[in-house]
Structure 1
Amino acid sequence: MKGVIKKKIERIIIVFIITTLSSTIFTGCWDQKIYERVGFILLLGLESSKEKHKKLLVTYANPAIGLGRKNQVELNVQEADLLRQAREIARTKASRPLEAGKIQEILISKELAEKGGIHDLLSIFSRDPLNPALADLVVVDGSPNELCKKSILFPDKPRVGIYIHQLLEAASKDSKIVESRIYNFDTQYYAEGLDTIMPIVKLETNSVKIVGSALFSRDKMVGNIDVKQTTLMVAMREKINRAAEYICKVPNIEDAHSNTKSGIAFTIKDSKKKINVSIDNGKPNINIKLKFRGMIDEYIWDSMDKEEKYREVQSNITDELKNECINIIKYTQEVGSDPLGIGDIVRAKHNDYWKKVNWKEVYKTAQVNVDVKLEILNHGLIY
């Protein structure tokens, strides 16, 4: 009996010692940050300053909480050589300590993007784990600072950071832009056979408008395409999973239209793509097969229920889609951007050839063939 009691006492003593040592050795710290006392940056704007000694002009936009007015935004503008330096200086002016962990968008001026060096500029987002890798990268046709200043005055829009985020989210779902986040950009920067695409926005009188996409070679903007072309770029680069509107301007059909209506409104319900690359006589031969399915939403009243007319419309839309895709690819070759990742296919399937050539130069003269198939699911409830 005494032995049992002794063992229990020994166990209690051991547990007590372990607990005491654990609380002493395994100590930690709690970096508490109360939401109401922190200025969470939602949007970051980057452009070149107008001073003689060129520096960065950095704009921070964060919610101004507690001022009693809806959608109030606090803007902090600072010139600096580094992003971290700009934030530290801005902290000396802001009403709350600024934190970058909730940044949703990074707006880069077109002028700055065309200079190149974007990867080095944004290196802090790859080095500091507190900075968000999910932030959207956006090119601004104009000044990000001006866009922020005027956007906070829009009477019918939410806070500028939330407004731009919702704008990009909706456009991405409609296949009007290609999603470009920090982690996408970093991955594509290090992939020698794949280049980045970023959305381009522009400030208008009472809104911000998506005007197209910026094409990059490594981390330098080298060209741009419009929204309509971006939809086809999405189809060739990825695939369209949700309905996307496409307006066709078919010359030989428009001649029969009235003065008040021309063209065809076509909804692309979905698309599939297949890209094959062969090496013929030392040059890459690119073959792209695309299949679209969709519906005709708007068109003149005619005899679409007749097989002959149906085939005519189908053929004309198919030809336009094909020609537009070819023109887009030729343009990317001219500016030296490979957004479809053709180089990655060559590197994976023709690695010996890849090692022998300078892909950026070879891509410019590659032969491109596009084959498009179109299935019109329906052309209206009444016909």
Structure 2
Amino acid sequence: MKNKLRILLAAVLIVWLPGCSEAVDLENLTLGLVIGVDLDEHNQLVSYFSSPLFNKNVSKSTLTLESNAKTLRATRREFDSMATGLAVGGKTQVILIGKRLMQHGDWFSLFDVFFRDAKNSLSERVIAVDGDVSEIMQNIPQDMPPLSLHLASLIDTKELRNETVKTNLQQFDKQMFEKGITPYISLIKVENERIKLTGTALLDKKGRLVMTLDQNETTLLRILQNSSRGQQSLSASIPGAQKSDIYDKNNLTFSINSVKNKMKTGYRDGKFEFDIKLNMFVSLKERLFTYDMRKNREKLEQQIQEQIKKQFEELIKKCQKNQIDPIGLGQYARAYQYKKWKQVQEHWGETFSEADVHLSVKTNIKYMGPVK
């Protein structure tokens, strides 16, 4: 008797289980794993939608759709009218932003639908395209993995080497509204018909593209942010080495085993002051010039310090010149000089451009390699 009651109760629960009425079979869905937004040559909004095809009878593995609707919500209606299944964006993995749109600025509110609709995810990687989004969406090489998988893996693996940043939609939202930092996202482009990661795009608070960083500069940025992890390597050109016509014989490359980042924040003579001290333990990975490491180790450490310090200072100066703060020094200003910060928080970029930033670098070579 008890078993019959249990079976009856289970049957009732299954019948009344909420959400089952909204279930849709996978073959009746068009999953937008990659979404791209850009401006065309007439400055008209254009959106792209890339979905995998689960049909062995078609030659292509990806469906790419295009729309000129004025909002992302409206584009879904158009995509529904063109796709064989219901267009859904809840599984989106990558959002591409075209260069024209970034140069225009004032585009972030387009993505309100992602935050407003709870069915949407906020873990999508936001990626800047140095060019037109159509180059990425419509020219996919046949020997490449599905676009969503390729782009996600490209960003994830290079982020582990600190050669780019990995900014998802939720993090980008914070960067746009957090007054002590300016936004930064991955940067890719098409080169020789291949998708290539080039570094990082730095934006202002309106989403306008202000400047770009190569992979080496991105590593410097992540060290300053104190967000570096995994493998880190930097290169420096040591002056005085013999020159070569075919390669940079002055070059020296090292990996960073660990780095200690100490920050002090002050305010004097109407300006914020930041004192950054970096202590790095490094291992040599490549040295293209002849050098007696055992006799002149301290001299080489001093030369590395001087060259790397120059690279850090150049990066900071470029950021100040463009009135952006991707390092997040404004957050330190708020934490340690709140009364002064409160007066300038609405125009922190301009204030940061006038701040005094002092930086010192100390390197300690822990490993020189097995070759003398």
CA shift, 1:167, in A, is: 0.6
1:96 equivalent in structure 2: 85
Structure-1 separation of matches of 2:262 and 2:330: 15
1:80 equivalent in structure 2: 69
1:372 equivalent in structure 2: 361
- Helix, strand or coil: the match of 2:142? coil
CA shift, 1:25, in A, is: 12
Question: Contact 1:116–1:219 at 8 Å: present in 2 too?
Answer: yes
2:237 equivalent in structure 1: 249
Q: 2:103 aligns with which of 93, 100, 114?
A: 114
Q: 2:49 aligns with which of 55, 60, 73?
A: 60
Gaps of 5+ in 1: 1-14
Structure-2 separation of matches of 1:212 and 1:198: 9
CA shift, 1:205, in A, is: 1.9
CA shift, 1:307, in A, is: 3.0
Structure-2 separation of matches of 1:206 and 1:25: 53
Question: What does 1:203-282 align with in structure 2 at a 5 Å threshold?
Answer: 203-220=190-207, 221-250=209-238, 252-254=239-241, 256-261=242-247, 262=249, 263-282=251-270
- Helix, strand or coil: the match of 1:287? strand
Question: Contact 2:276–2:360 at 8 Å: present in 1 too?
Answer: yes
Q: Give the AA of the match of 1:66.
A: N
Question: Contact 1:277–1:285 at 8 Å: present in 2 too?
Answer: yes
Structure-2 separation of matches of 1:321 and 1:147: 35
CA shift, 1:36, in A, is: 2.8
Gaps of 5+ in 2: none
1:42 equivalent in structure 2: 33
Q: Percent identity?
A: 23
Q: Give the AA of the match of 2:18.
A: G
**CA pair 58-272 structure 1, distance change in 2 beyond 3 A:** same
CA shift, 1:122, in A, is: 1.4
- So what's the TM-score if we normalise by structure 2? 0.90
Q: Give the AA of the match of 2:200.
A: S
CA shift, 1:347, in A, is: 1.4
2:306 equivalent in structure 1: 319
Question: Contact 2:33–2:91 at 8 Å: present in 1 too?
Answer: yes
Q: Give the AA of the match of 2:70.
A: D
CA shift, 1:257, in A, is: 4.4
2:124 equivalent in structure 1: 135
2:159 equivalent in structure 1: 172
2:339 equivalent in structure 1: 352
Q: Give the AA of the match of 2:310.
A: N
Structure-1 separation of matches of 2:14 and 2:291: 85
CA shift, 1:239, in A, is: 3.6
- Helix, strand or coil: the match of 1:123? helix
CA shift, 1:72, in A, is: 1.0
Structure-2 separation of matches of 1:318 and 1:156: 43
- Helix, strand or coil: the match of 2:222? helix
1:11 equivalent in structure 2: none
Q: 1:28 aligns with which of 2, 6, 18?
A: 18
Q: Deviation per CA, 1:132-155, whole angstroms, max 9, x where unpaired? A: 2100111101111121111x2x13
Bigger Cα displacement from structure 2, 187-196 vs 66-75: 66-75
CA shift, 1:128, in A, is: 1.3
Question: Contact 1:40–1:63 at 8 Å: present in 2 too?
Answer: yes
Question: Contact 2:305–2:361 at 8 Å: present in 1 too?
Answer: yes
Q: Give the AA of the match of 1:157.
A: M
- Helix, strand or coil: the match of 2:92? coil
Question: Contact 1:241–1:270 at 8 Å: present in 2 too?
Answer: no
Structure-2 separation of matches of 1:286 and 1:247: 25
CA shift, 1:71, in A, is: 6.8
Structure-1 separation of matches of 2:14 and 2:213: 62
1:196 equivalent in structure 2: 183
Q: Deviation per CA, 1:312-352, whole angstroms, max 9, x where unpaired? A: 22111111111111111111111111111111111121111
Question: Contact 2:182–2:203 at 8 Å: present in 1 too?
Answer: yes
- Helix, strand or coil: the match of 2:24? coil
Structure-2 separation of matches of 1:248 and 1:210: 22
The structure with the larger Rg is 1
Q: Which ranges of 4 or more aligned residues in structure 1 deviate by more than 6 Å?
A: 22-27
Structure-2 separation of matches of 1:202 and 1:112: 15
Question: Contact 2:155–2:165 at 8 Å: present in 1 too?
Answer: no
1:305 equivalent in structure 2: 293
CA shift, 1:114, in A, is: 2.0
Q: Deviation per CA, 1:38-82, whole angstroms, max 9, x where unpaired? A: 22111111101344xx43211111101113468711001111100
For the aligned residue pairs, the C-alpha RMSD in angstroms reads 2.5
Aligned length: 362
